[in-house]
């Protein structure tokens, strides 16, 4: 993992950024670690235009979640309201993930500086 904080940034500035991040940290109860996938498909009717160079049916929106290695949960979101709820929940999760990643990097840099003080 690349450090986003260089040694020129003061420890005080890092602690201030950490406090700011913590004050802005919002855990949305509807956060969702998933992907929204748009698909078009052919139907089962051999004489349908989708089999003869015409447009495929869709779009269909699927919510997919990787649960464990080799295990994926996937289901169809039929209504536009469901699709928008999924988009919002996924965006909340990604924002939270970015905030936690930055917080983790600040904590690692502060810990590294403590280590250097002890052995200096």
Ranges of each domain in the chain:
32-118
pLDDT-derived band at 7 (thresholds 50, 70, 90) equals low
* The dihedral sign for the CA sequence 83, 85, 86, 92: positive
Which of 21-35, 82-96, 105-119 is predicted with the least confidence, judged by mean pLDDT?
105-119
As a whole number, mean pLDDT of residues 12-25 equals: 90
CA distances from 11 to 19, 39, 63, 84, 107 (A): 12, 49, 42, 41, 11
**Cβ pair 104, 3 in contact under 8 A:** no
* The dihedral sign for the CA sequence 93, 97, 100, 106: negative
Q: What is the predicted pLDDT for the residue at 4?
A: 58
Which token pair is 73?
A: 């949960």
CA distances from 14 to 20, 65, 116, 117 (A): 10, 35, 16, 16
Residue range 33-63, pLDDT digits in tens: 999 999 999 999 999 999 888 899 999 999 9
**Cβ pair 28, 92 in contact under 8 A:** yes
Question: pTM for this one?
Answer: 0.75
């Amino acid at each position: 993992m690349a450090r986003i904080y260089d040694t020129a940034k003061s420890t005080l500035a890092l602690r201030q950024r950490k406090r700011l991040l913590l004050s802005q940290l919002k855990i949305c109860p509807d956060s969702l670690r998933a992907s929204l996938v748009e698909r078009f498909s052919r139907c089962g009717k051999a004489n349908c235009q989708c089999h003869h160079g015409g447009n495929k049916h869709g779009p269909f929106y699927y919510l997919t979640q990787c649960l464990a290695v080799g295990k994926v949960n996937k289901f169809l979101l039929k209504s536009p309201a469901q699709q928008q709820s999924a988009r919002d929940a996924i965006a909340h999760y990604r924002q939270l993930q970015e905030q936690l990643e930055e917080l983790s990097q600040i904590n690692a840099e502060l810990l590294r500086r403590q280590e250097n003080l002890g052995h200096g």
